[in-house]
Structure 1
Amino acid sequence: MRRLMLAVLLVLTGCSSGADNGVGFTAVDLTATPEALATHADMLVIGTRPSDHPELVTRTKDGTLTNVRLTPTTPYGKEAHWYGITSDGTTITGVGGERGGAHGNVRWSAWTGDTRQIVEKTQAFSTFGGYGAGELIGVVRTAQGPRIIGTWQSAKAGLDIAAWTYAEDTWTRQPSAGTALESSQDLLRFPLAVTQNGDGALVAGWQIAKGTVGAAVWQFDGTTWTTATLPDGDAALAARCWDGTCHVVGRAKGKLAWWTGSGSDWRKLTTPDIPVGDDAVLAAPVPVNGTPTLFVDHNGVKLVSGKDERPADGPSGEVVAAEKADDQVFVIAGGRLWRLS
């Protein structure tokens, strides 16, 4: 009888211990703070920054880390933080920025190259700066080439969402007037994130329509921009699209909100009760074993999938980026890079 009771206790103890174990992660040791992630073919691209300058590192599937030669051409390029990186598998494109000047505005830098060398392509000051300039939120790869997404002074009211295209080492801002990117007295638009969507792009953010605040997305199909309002939400903060569906995460009444869909068809998912403040940063969801998964700091880093919430074993602190390279998943949390074991 005593042996039977001991066996039962051992089984129960083992079950309890297994239930409390978090999802395992392994730290990736870098020589500088990671700021942005992207995939380049089956490699991970990591935008890092030591104390005073940008660096770019690639990681192969076997864990080999290689520093890419970085060639800045402007004083602010030499000091830039990474605001976004993208790749089509051949060419890597990045956006950097560092505050400076009399007004402390961000001075932007645009980078292009491959795994051997990334070069800052010097632009005229009026390309991203000057009177009417807003912010840059990131860069995205489309079938027509890379696009930088940001904001620019609107001819009607506030700021328009703006898109820059690239050709012959030059970035050119495309007109927003008359498109779904244009703001007006009745509708102000605020982009916060951008991601590739098929051959085009999806921009996530929020808008004020006649005094009502709502989450919204703007979608580019390669020719035309369209917009859709997300149900029951205040702001969309991050997004990623794969297999014909986009996954958008954000905020609704101070709590986590998650939408899935495409085009004009969007639905809001039921999620765990996780606070999301007005200044919160969310990383875009990624597929983990085929399941859309969000990594978020909620009393420790958690993996959120539908109604489930599982603790991460290892990472801690704010999650600012997540990426899947080949069959490996990575997150930046608490200023460190982690790989899902």
Structure 2
Amino acid sequence: MRRLTLAVLLVLAGCSSGGEPDATGFTAVDLPATPEALAAHGDMLAIGTRTPDHPELVLRSADGTLANSRLTPATPYGEEAHWYGVTSDGTTITGVGGERGGAHGNVRWSTWTGDARVIDEEPQAFSTFGGYGAGELIGPVRTARGPLIIGTWQSAKAGLDIAAWTYAAGTWTRQPSAGTVLESSQELLRFPLSVTPDGDGALVVGWQIAKGQVSAAVWRFDGTTWTTATLPGGDAALAARCWDGTCHVVGRAGGRLAWWSGPQWKKLATPDVPVGDDQTLAAPVPVNGTPTLFVDHGGVKLVSEKDERPAEGPSGAVVAAEKVGDQVFVIAGGRLWRLGQVS
């Protein structure tokens, strides 16, 4: 009896004294279409999905209930769009879609605005996102002053500038990049790759090249002014997320994972994870208080500054991660997964 009691105590101690739970188990979330983008919409998860021929937007409540928003396309390309990004301020949902077409196979962009019930495509003039000087759209982001769309546009000096479009009364308007840190020049070319909310503003991450030297870089908008910083020891910043006053940026350095913490932009030591030149990364999320990256590295892994653990369930490329309330969701291998034991 004494040995049995001791054994039980040891088991209980192992369950309770180990600190945080081993949050590696996932549950698949069955959806009627393929998930492409995620965003927190208040206490709900907004999921941009696509059937074989048209986009949809699904809202998942905290209890797991799924409901489709009524999507109302207004253009032929809107009817066929893939989701390039979805964002929300908790009330209004803003989305960017795109589908290739036309003689040159360029992406034909569509913009979407609505709420949990109805999402409408808002047609824009062709010159808003297209035309001779057009670049690419990275995606939408919410700020205290309203949503922005971040992308690129032909520079007056060299290459492409980073471009920001603002929204008012159904119309997106590109703001001038000339004279700001978003402008490229003969000496410095800039390439944005991802955007995330940052306090009242936004953080754009990517890479730049100056005098043949390639480096990871960030461009930060405080609601009024853009500033920029070069990230130490990196080739490209691929994704970022900000919470509790800190921005967590992940990218590539010499073909391996690089991780920076801002606004001081300190480079952190991380597990050795390969990141290819054409690989994308999903933005980190907090898991049990630890900034965590989900990445396909011999199977989907949970990577933090300290360790790397295999995920139980998902497989394939990770394209998005999002935390809503106390739940974390990941798109991997074309499916949506919910991570267990998160706080």
Question: Shared fold by TM > 0.5?
Answer: yes
The SS at the match of 2:265 is strand
Supply the distance in 2 between the matched residues of 1:143 and 1:168 (Cα, whole angstroms).
17
Corresponding residue of 1:322:
321
SS in 1 for 2:76: coil
Specify the alignment match of 1:287 in structure 2.
286
Q: 4+ residue stretches of structure 1 with deviation over 2 A?
A: none
TM-score by length of 2: 0.93
Q: How does 1:222-237 map to 2 (within 5 A)?
A: 222-237=223-238
Structure 2 residue 309 is matched with structure 1 residue 340: no
CA distance in 1, matches of 2:233, 2:224: 29
Whether 2:115 is the aligned partner of 1:101: answer no
Equivalenced residues, count: 326
Residues 25 and 338 of structure 1 are in contact (CA less than 8 Å); yes or no, is this contact kept in structure 2? yes
Structure 2 distance, partners of 1:250, 1:332, is 19
Counterpart of 1:290, as a letter, is G
What is the CA–CA distance in structure 1 between the aligned matches of 2:317 and 2:257, rounded to whole Å?
15
The correspondence of residues 43-192 of structure 1 with structure 2, limited to 5 A, is: 43-192=44-193
Secondary structure at the aligned position of 2:329 is classed as strand
Match of 1:300 in 2: 299
Cross-structure match for 1:18: none
2:40 and 2:81 mapped to 1: Cα distance?
21
1:77 match: secondary structure = helix
Within 2, Cα distance between the matches of 1:214 and 1:281?
Answer: 17
CA apart distance, 1:37: 0.0
What's the counterpart of residue 240 of structure 2? Answer: 239
Identity among equivalent positions (%) equals 83
Which letter does structure 2 place at the counterpart of 1:212?
Answer: Q
Q: Give the Cα–Cα distance (whole angstroms) in 1 for the partners of residues 235 and 165 of structure 2.
A: 27
The answer on whether the counterparts of 1:22 and 1:310 sit within 8 Å (CA) in structure 2 is no
For residue 22 of structure 1, report the CA deviation from its aligned partner: 7.9
In structure 1, what is the equivalent of residue 250 of structure 2?
249
Paired amino acid for 1:238: A
Aligned-pair CA distance for 1:281? 1.1
Structure 1 residue runs without a partner (length 5+): 16-20
What is the CA deviation profile of residues 133-183 of structure 1, one whole-angstrom value per residue up to 9, with x for unaligned ones? 000001000011000000000000000000000001000000000001000
- Please give the secondary structure, in 2, of the residue aligned with 1:76: helix
Q: Given residue 164 of structure 2, which amino acid in structure 1 is its aligned partner? A: A
- What is the distance in 2 between the residues matched to 1:35 and 1:260? 27
Q: Is the 8 A contact 1:86 1:140 kept in 2?
A: yes
Partners of 1:33 and 1:90 lie apart in 2 by 24
CA-based RMSD: 1.6
Equivalent-residue separation in structure 2 for 1:38 and 1:85 (angstroms): 6
Q: TM-score, normalised by structure 1?
A: 0.93
- What pairs up with 1:213-224 in 2 under 5 angstroms? 213-224=214-225
Distance 1:151 1:56 in 2: 26
Indicate the residue corresponding to 2:310 in structure 1: 311
Structure 2: how far apart are the matches of 1:26 and 1:127?
41
Q: Does residue 42 of the first structure (1) align with residue 28 of the second (2)?
A: no
Residues 23 and 339 in structure 2, CA contact (< 8 A), matched pair in contact too: no
